[in-house]
Structure 1
Amino acid sequence: MKPDKKYTPEEIAPLASLEQWDEDLLERYPEEGKPAKAKEEFRNYDSPQRDTVREFYRLNHTYQTYDFVLEKEKEFLKFNKKEMPVWNAVEYLNTLIDDSDPDTDLDQLQHLMQTSEAIRADGHPDWFVLTGFMHDMGKVLCLFGEPQWAVVGDTFPVGCKFSDKVVYPEFFALNPDATDERYNTKYGVYSHGCGLKNVHMSWGHDEYLYQMMKDYLPEPALYMIRYHSFYAQHRENAYDHLMDEHDRKMFDWVRKFNPYDLYSKSPKPPVVKELKPYYEDLMAKYLPGTLKL
C-alpha cells in the first residue's frame, strides 16, 4: 500500500488517545510481581477501548507492507520537515495535545521526564537518562499528518513472514505481503542470522528517531530507541532467526530499558522548570545544536 493513499479521519486516528496503545501494553505485560491493572482503572471512553485498539492494529497490520515502509523511509529520512534547537523540538512535540485523554494532566514533555527521571534515580549513565528523555520524540510524526498506526504500535519486521507472536496476528491476513511469495516465507528477503541492521521494521517513531540520533548516541542507546516497541522479539523471542550475536548482546540493553518505558508513569508531574537546565546540559553534551526533523 503506497503512502499516497488518502485515509479517512477514522483511519488516521482510530485511537481516542495515543496513550491507549501504552495501556494495552500494560495489560499484556504487567509489571513483574504486580497484578495486571484492573479493567476499571483504565480510561473509560464511550466506545470500548479494546475495540479501538483492535481497529488500530487492523489498520497497522493491513497497511504496513514492505513497500509502504520503503516509501516512508524515503519520505521522512530526508529530515527536511523542520530544523530547530533540540529543546525547541521537544517543545514542538509538546504541541501534540490530546484533549480526549481524561485521566491525566501530564503533557508529552512531562511523560518523557518521568521516564528519564526514573532512569536517573537508579543511577544509570547520563546517556541512558538522555535516551529515556528522547525515546518518544519520534512521535512528532503525528504533527506531520501521519496516521497513528504509522507512528506508534508494536513493531515487527516487514519483508518476511509475520509472526503469530505479534499482537492481533489474525489481521496480517489483510496485508498484501501475506500472499506475496517474495515476502511470506520465514526469511523472505532476508537470510538466517543476517542481523537486524539488515532488516526493515514496520514504520513508526522508533525507526524515525533512531535514524535521527544514530550519529550522536552510544550504540546501546540506539538499540533502545530503535527496538523498544519490538515486543515480539524482546518479550516473545519470535524473530531470533534474523538476529546475529551482536543483536542478542545489545538486546540486553533493550530489555533493561523496557521497564522504564512501561512502568515509570505516575500522576505526579515533574517540575519542568527546575529540571530544564540539567536536560539542556545533557543535550549539549551529546546532541548537535539543532535537530533536523
Structure 2
Amino acid sequence: MRRPNTPPLEVVSDAIDEVNKLKGMNASAAKAWNASSSFDSEKDKAAFRQYADACDRVKNFYREQHEKQTVEFNLRVRANFKKIVRARMGIWEAMEKLNTLVDDSDPDCAAQTSVSQIEHLLQTAEAIRRDGKPEWMQVAGLVHDLGKLLYFFDSEGQWDVVGDTFVVGCAFSDKIIYPETFASNPDSQDPVYSTEYGVYAPHCGLENVMLSWGHDEYLYHVLKNQSSLPEDALHMIRYHSFYPWHREGAYAHLTNASDQRALDAVRAFNPYDLYSKSDDPVDPAKLKPYYQGLIEQFFPEVIEW
C-alpha cells in the first residue's frame, strides 16, 4: 500500500528523469569550455609571436624585464600590493581607462594586428562567445588583461606589468623569450636562485612558486576575492602570459598533478587571447549592453584595485 502523501510512482520516475536530464545538461556545459577552438581554424598562426623578427622596442623591453625581475623585487611588490587600494572602479570603467596603454612587449604589432586594449579584450571575449563557450569564459576573456592598469598606479615601468611571465627564485628557463638577456639579472649568479630548484621543492606545485610580477599575477590577486568567477577562469587569468610553461613545456620539475587542470584551462583560453588580434574591428558601444549584463553576474559594482 502506498503511504499517505507519497507521490505516485510515475511522478517520482518523471522527477528522476528530469534530474538526470539536468545533470546531463550540466555535464555538457562543464565540458564546453575546454572543447577545441574553431574560430581560429583558418588563421595563419605562424604570423604570431615572431620574436626573432620583433622590433627593437620589443627586444629592449624584454632585456629590461629580464634584468629587473629579481626575487627581491618580487617580494617587495607583493608586500606593497597588500598595503593599499590604488583605485575604486567598475569593470567597464577599468576597460576604458586601460585603453590609453600601448603594450611595448607585443611583437604582433609588426604583423599589423595592433589594436587598442579595449578592442583586444572585446575581440577575445567575442571569439569565445562565437565558439559557444560558457559565459564565465567570455568574462575571463573580457577582463584578462585588466591587470595592466597596474601601469597607471605604482609600477616602475612596463617591464613589471606586461610581457611573458616566468618563475623567479630558481634558474631561469631557456624556454623563456630571449634567455640570454638574463645574464644581467643578479639572481642568475646567486648560489641558490641560479640552481634548478632554487628555493623550491621538487614538484611543489605552481601555487607554491613565485611568478614574475605583472598584470596576470596582479589581476588574479585582485579578483580571486572580488568576483564569483570559477577556478578555471582564475587559472586562465593568472597563467595566460606564462608561455614558457603552457606553450614550451618548461618547469615540469616544479609542477604537480594538481596543475594539470590549470594547464588545460590556459591552453583552452590561449587561442582566443592570441589569434583574435586579427579579427574584424569591434564596436564597444554596441557590445557594452551585453557585456555589462555579464559583468553584473560575476563582479560587484565597484572593484578595489
Coarse TM-score class (shorter-chain normalised): 0.7 to 0.9
Selected match of 2:189 from 179, 203, 207: 179
Selected match of 2:239 from 227, 232, 246: 227
The answer to whether 1:58 aligns with 2:68 is no
CA deviations over 1:71-96 (Å, ceiling 9, x no partner) = 11122344511111222222221233
CA deviations over 1:135-182 (Å, ceiling 9, x no partner) = 000111222263111111110000011111111111111111111112
CA distance in 1, matches of 2:84, 2:68: 23
CA distance in 1, matches of 2:146, 2:183: 31
2:221 paired residue number: 211
1:275 paired residue number: 287
CA deviations over 1:219-272 (Å, ceiling 9, x no partner) = 111111111111111111110111111112221110011111110113632122
CA deviations over 1:38-81 (Å, ceiling 9, x no partner) = 99xx9xxxxx9432222111111110001111111122344511
1:72–1:238: structure 2 CA closer, same or farther, 3 Å change rule? Answer: same
Equivalent runs, 1:14-93 vs 2, <5 Å: 34=44, 36-37=46-47, 49-93=54-98
Equivalent runs, 1:193-204 vs 2, <5 Å: 193-204=203-214
CA distance in 2, matches of 1:245, 1:267: 36
1:181–1:56: structure 2 CA closer, same or farther, 3 Å change rule? Answer: same
Q: Specify the code of the residue in structure 2 equivalent to 1:137.
A: L
Deviates more, 1:139-148 or 1:186-195: 139-148
8 A Cα contact 2:115 2:277, kept in partner: no
1:72–1:52: structure 2 CA closer, same or farther, 3 Å change rule? Answer: same
Selected match of 1:160 from 165, 170, 175: 170
TM-score, reference length from structure 1: 0.80
Off by >4 Å, runs of 4+ in structure 1: 30-33, 101-106
Selected match of 1:118 from 127, 131, 139: 127
Selected match of 2:137 from 114, 128, 135: 128
Q: Specify the code of the residue in structure 2 equivalent to 1:67.
A: E
Equivalent runs, 1:243-282 vs 2, <5 Å: 243-266=255-278, 268-282=280-294
Equivalent runs, 1:277-292 vs 2, <5 Å: 277-292=289-304
1:242 paired residue number: 254
CA distance in 1, matches of 2:143, 2:219: 8
Deviates more, 1:227-236 or 1:260-269: 260-269
Identity %: 51
CA distance in 1, matches of 2:238, 2:42: 24
Structure 1: 5+ residue stretches without partners: 1-29, 43-47
1:79–1:282: structure 2 CA closer, same or farther, 3 Å change rule? Answer: farther
1:18 paired residue number: none
Q: Specify the code of the residue in structure 2 equivalent to 1:84.
A: M
8 A Cα contact 1:106 1:267, kept in partner: no
Q: Specify the code of the residue in structure 2 equivalent to 1:252.
A: D
2:118 paired residue number: 109
1:189 paired residue number: 199
**In the TM superposition, what is the alpha-carbon distance from 1:121 to its structure 2 partner?**
0.5
8 A Cα contact 1:116 1:130, kept in partner: yes
Q: Specify the code of the residue in structure 2 equivalent to 1:114.
A: Q
2:106 paired residue number: none
The answer to whether 1:141 aligns with 2:150 is yes
1:77–1:117: structure 2 CA closer, same or farther, 3 Å change rule? Answer: farther
Selected match of 1:169 from 179, 184, 205: 179
1:282–1:167: structure 2 CA closer, same or farther, 3 Å change rule? Answer: same
TM-score, reference length from structure 2: 0.77
